[in-house]
C-alpha cells in the first residue's frame, strides 16, 4: 500500500513484491509497487500538502508532531509485532527501542519547531535579517533494519522545518511506514504532507531524479549512496547519506573487562548484527586478550537465538534468504582466513522449529590479518572479529585503515587516553565506555565513505531548511551613477 492525499492507495505498476517473514520464510502479503504515475500523484499530493503546512505557524506544526509521538507510543505493541514479522528482529528489542526511538524524534523536533527562527543584522541605518525556510518536497529512502525508526528520524526534522516528505521504505519492510502515515493524519497533519511510495531501486530513482524534489536523505549501502548522489546531481538536490560501516571498537588493557565484553556484544549481536554502526572490528590489547575472549565466549553462549516473537529471544532471523546466504558465505571465507572461535552456524532450533527461517548463531572470529575480507568488508550479520594490538599508535592506525567512517568505540579507564584516541579516530560517532547508544539529542552521522550529514540533534535542522537573507535599505541608495 502507498499513502498520499492523506489516505492509503494501491500501487498501479504491473510489479509486486512478496513481503516475507524471515523467521519462517512465509509470505505475509504482497505489495503492488508504485508506477511512475503513482509517484507523480504522490508529488502532486506533497505539493498541495506543502502549501498548507509551510503556511502554518511553527507552534501548530510542533503540536501535531508531539501528538503523533503520543499516538505512536500508544501503538507500540501493535507496531512492534509488525516490525518483528517484517525484519526478524527480537520482539524484546522492538518493544523497547524501535518505536520509542522514533517517537523520541517526533517529540524532540515537535518541541523545537516553534523555536526555529532567523536572525537580525544591524547595519547602522539599514538592517538585514534571515528567514529559516523549508526546502520544499524532501524524499526519504529507508533501509530495512530499523524501518519505523528511520521513517521517523527522517520525517520528524523535515516536517518540523515545514517541508513535505515522500518516504520510500525498503522493499523488504514495507508496512510500518504506512502506519506512521496514518498516525500523522490522525494527529492532524494536513493531507499530502507525509506520503509513502513502495518499490525497489527503480522506484527510488523516480524520486532521486525528479526535479520537483529538493532533497533526498538515504539510509542504505555505500554503493547505493553513490548512485543516489549521482542521480540527485541532475537537479542539484540537497543530499544526506547515512551508509554502511566497518567500525572499530578498541579495548585497552586498563578497561573494565566485563563492561568491555558487554560493549562488544552490544556492538555486534544486537538486531542479529544488522546495525550500520556496529563495532565489528574488536581490537583487544594483547595482554588481556585471553581473559577477554574467555568472558566473551562464555557470555555469547548464553545468548538465546530463535523465534523473534519469543520475549526471551536475543538473536533473531536475518532479513532475507539472500542476505542469510551472503552472511554464511562470509563466514565460510572467514574460516579460511581467520580462526572461528564460536558459532557461525545455521541455526535450526532444538526441534528444527527454526529450520525454515534465516537464523545464524553469533560468530566470533580471531585473526591478526588486517587484510582479511571479514576484517575489511561490511557483513551486516552476527559476525565479530577480534584483533590484537599492543601500542596505542598502532591501534589508531589500524582502526582508521578503512574506507568507512561511521562509528568507533573506546573502552578504557584512562580519561586522557580516551579523549586523545577519540580525537584521532576518523569516525562521525564515537562512544567512550559504551556502544550503539543514540539518544535523539545528539547528532548521529558518518565520515568518509560511510556518507555525510547527520540525523538527530539540532544540527539536522540545517539539513532540512535554507536561509533566506533579506537586506532592507532604510536610507537613500548610495549610488555611483
CA count, 13 A, side-chain hemisphere, 167: 36
Q: Find the Cα–Cα–Cα–Cα dihedral 179, 13, 225, 193, rounded to 10°.
A: -40
Q: How far apart are CA 198 and CA 101, in angstroms?
A: 23
Q: Restricting to residues 26-55, name those near ligand NAD by CB under 6 A.
A: none
Closest CA to 159 of 180, 142, 129: 180
Which range, of 110-118, 167-175, 263-271, 351-359, touches ligand NAD by CB under 6 A?
167-175
Q: Find the Cα–Cα–Cα–Cα dihedral 162, 165, 170, 171, rounded to 10°.
A: 160
Closest contact distance (angstroms) between CB of 449 and ligand NAD is 11
Whether 304 and 350 have beta carbons less than 8 Å apart is answered as no
Nearer to ligand NAD, 24 or 149 (CB): 149
Helix (H, G, I), strand (E, B) or coil at 371: coil
453 in contact with ligand NAD (CB under 6 A): no
Q: How far apart are CA 19 and CA 171, in angstroms?
A: 8
Closest contact distance (angstroms) between CB of 367 and ligand NAD is 22
From the list 265, 267, 276, 360, which residue makes contact with ligand NAD (rule: CB under 6 A)?
Answer: 276
> Which residue of the chain is nearest ligand NAD when measured via CB?
204
168 in contact with ligand NAD (CB under 6 A): yes
Report CA-CA distances (Å) from 333 to 50, 184, 231, 328, 410: 50, 46, 34, 9, 28
Whether 307 and 353 have beta carbons less than 8 Å apart is answered as yes
145 in contact with ligand NAD (CB under 6 A): yes
Longest dimension (CA), the chain: 91
- Catalytic residue, chosen from 83, 85, 93, 242, is 242
Write the DSSP string, 311-325.
TT-SB---S-HHHHH
306 in contact with ligand NAD (CB under 6 A): no
Which range, of 31-39, 157-165, 242-250, 347-355, touches ligand NAD by CB under 6 A?
242-250
Which range, of 42-50, 166-174, 186-194, 348-356, touches ligand NAD by CB under 6 A?
166-174
242 in contact with ligand NAD (CB under 6 A): yes
From the list 33, 224, 247, 460, which residue makes contact with ligand NAD (rule: CB under 6 A)?
Answer: 224
Nine-digit cell string for 366: 580471531
208 in contact with ligand NAD (CB under 6 A): yes
Closest contact distance (angstroms) between CB of 451 and ligand NAD is 6
Angle in degrees, 0-180, between the axes of helices 222-233 and 201-208, rounded to the nearest 10 = 40
Which range, of 7-15, 76-84, 199-207, 255-263, touches ligand NAD by CB under 6 A?
199-207
219 in contact with ligand NAD (CB under 6 A): yes
Whether 406 and 245 have beta carbons less than 8 Å apart is answered as yes
Whether 422 and 447 have beta carbons less than 8 Å apart is answered as no
Closest contact distance (angstroms) between CB of 340 and ligand NAD is 23
244 in contact with ligand NAD (CB under 6 A): yes
15 in contact with ligand NAD (CB under 6 A): no
Helix (H) or strand (E) holding 241: strand 238-242
Closest contact distance (angstroms) between CB of 146 and ligand NAD is 6
Give bridge partners of residue 135 from the DSSP assignment.
none
From the list 15, 100, 227, 333, which residue makes contact with ligand NAD (rule: CB under 6 A)?
Answer: 227
From the list 17, 201, 229, 459, which residue makes contact with ligand NAD (rule: CB under 6 A)?
Answer: 201
Nearer to ligand NAD, 145 or 436 (CB): 145
Q: 420-448 burial, b for 16+ CB within 10 Å, e for fewer?
A: ebbeebbbbbbbbeebbebebeeebbbbb
From the list 5, 76, 205, 466, which residue makes contact with ligand NAD (rule: CB under 6 A)?
Answer: 205
217 in contact with ligand NAD (CB under 6 A): no
Which range, of 3-11, 79-87, 221-229, 392-400, touches ligand NAD by CB under 6 A?
221-229
Closest contact distance (angstroms) between CB of 316 and ligand NAD is 16
Report CA-CA distances (Å) from 294 to 41, 286, 366, 387, 458: 58, 14, 12, 14, 42
**Considering just the CA atoms, what is the radius of gyration of the chain in Å?**
24
Closest contact distance (angstroms) between CB of 285 and ligand NAD is 28
204 in contact with ligand NAD (CB under 6 A): yes
166 in contact with ligand NAD (CB under 6 A): no
Whether 118 and 344 have beta carbons less than 8 Å apart is answered as no
Q: How far apart are CA 372 and CA 374, in angstroms?
A: 5
From the list 83, 85, 171, 366, which residue makes contact with ligand NAD (rule: CB under 6 A)?
Answer: 171
In the residue annotation, 242 being an active-site residue is answered as: yes
Whether 411 and 237 have beta carbons less than 8 Å apart is answered as no
Q: Beta 126-134 vs 465-472: how paired, if at all?
A: antiparallel
Closest contact distance (angstroms) between CB of 197 and ligand NAD is 10
247 in contact with ligand NAD (CB under 6 A): no
377 in contact with ligand NAD (CB under 6 A): no
Nearer to ligand NAD, 87 or 314 (CB): 87
Provide the annotated active-site residues.
Answer: 242
Binding residues for ligand NAD (CB under 6 A): 141-145, 168, 170-171, 200-201, 204-205, 208, 218-221, 224, 227-228, 242-245, 276, 378, 380, 406, 446
Amino acid at each position: 500500500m502507498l499513502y498520499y492525499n492523506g489516505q492509503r492507495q494501491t500501487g498501479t505498476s504491473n510489479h509486486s513484491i512478496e513481503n516475507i517473514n524471515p523467521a519462517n520464510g512465509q509470505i505475509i502479503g504482497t505489495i503492488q509497487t508504485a508506477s511512475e504515475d503513482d509517484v507523480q500523484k504522490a508529488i502532486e499530493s506533497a505539493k498541495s500538502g506543502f502549501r498548507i503546512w509551510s503556511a502554518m505557524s511553527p507552534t501548530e506544526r510542533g503540536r501535531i508532531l508531539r501528538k503523533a509521538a503520543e499516538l505512536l507510543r500508544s501503538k507500540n505493541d501493535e507496531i512492534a509485532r509488525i516490525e518483528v514479522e517484517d525484519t526478524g528482529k527480537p520482539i524484546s528489542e522492538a518493544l523497547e527501542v524501535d518505536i520509542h526511538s522514533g517517537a523520541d524524534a517526533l517529540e524532540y523536533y515537535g518541541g523545537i519547531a516553534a523555536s526555529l527562527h532567523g536572525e537580525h543584522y544591524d547595519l547602522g541605518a539599514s538592517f538585514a535579517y534571515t528567514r529559516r525556510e523549508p526546502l520544499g518536497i524532501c524524499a526519504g529512502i529507508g533501509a530495512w533494519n530499523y524501518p519505523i525508526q528511520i521513517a521517523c528520524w527522517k520525517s520528524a526534522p523535515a516536517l518540523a522545518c515545514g517541508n513535505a516528505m515522500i518516504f520510500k521504505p525498503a522493499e523488504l519492510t514495507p508496512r510500518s511506514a504506512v502506519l506512521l502515515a496514518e498516525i500523522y493524519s490522525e494527529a492532524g497533519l494536513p493531507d499530502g504532507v507525509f506520503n509513502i511510495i513502495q518499490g525497489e531501486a527503480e522506484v527510488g530513482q523516480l524520486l532521486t531524479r525528479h526535479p520537483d524534489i529538493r532533497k533526498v536523505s538515504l539510509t542504505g549501502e555505500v554503493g547505493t549512496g553513490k548512485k543516489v548522489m549521482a542521480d540527485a546531481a541532475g537537479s542539484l538536490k540537497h543530499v544526506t547519506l547515512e551508509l554502511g560501516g566497518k567500525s572499530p571498537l578498541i579495548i585497552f588493557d586498563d578497561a573494565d573487562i566485563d563492561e568491555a565484553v558487554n560493549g562488544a556484544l552490544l556492538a555486534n549481536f544486537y538486531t542479529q548484527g544488522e546495525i550500520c554502526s556496529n563495532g565489528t572490528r574488536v581490537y583487544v590489547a594483547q595482554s588481556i586478550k585471553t581473559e577477554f575472549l574467555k568472558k566473551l565466549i562464555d557470555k555469547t553462549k548464553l545468548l538465546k537465538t530463535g523465534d523473534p516473537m519469543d520475549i526471551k529471544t536475543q538473536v533473531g532471523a536475518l532479513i532475507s534468504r539472500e542476505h542469510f546466504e551472503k552472511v554464511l558465505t562470509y563466514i565460510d571465507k572467514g574460516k579460511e582466513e581467520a580462526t572461528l572461535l564460536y558459532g557461525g552456524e545455521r541455526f535450526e532450533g532444538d526441534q528444527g522449529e527454526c529450520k525454515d527461517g534465516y537464523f545464524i548463531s553469533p560468530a566470533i572470529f580471531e585473526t591478526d590479518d588486517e587484510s582479511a575480507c571479514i576484517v575489511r568488508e561490511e557483513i551486516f550479520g552476527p559476525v565479530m572479529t577480534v584483533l590484537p594490538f599492543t601500542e596505542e599508535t598502532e591501534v589508531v592506525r589500524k582502526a582508521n585503515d578503512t574506507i568507512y567512517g561511521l562509528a568507533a568505540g573506546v573502552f578504557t579507564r584512562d580519561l586522557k587516553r580516551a579523549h586523545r584516541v577519540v580525537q584521532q579516530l576518523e569516525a562521525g560517532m564515537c562512544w567512550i565506555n559504551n556502544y550503539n547508544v543514540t539518544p535523539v539529542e545528539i547528532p548521529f552521522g558518518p565520515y568518509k565513505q560511510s556518507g555525510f550529514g547527520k540525523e538527530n540533534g539540532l544540527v539536522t535542522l540545517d539539513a532540512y531548511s535554507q536561509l533566506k537573507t533579506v537586506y532592507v535599505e532604510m536610507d537613500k541608495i548610495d549610488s555611483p551613477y
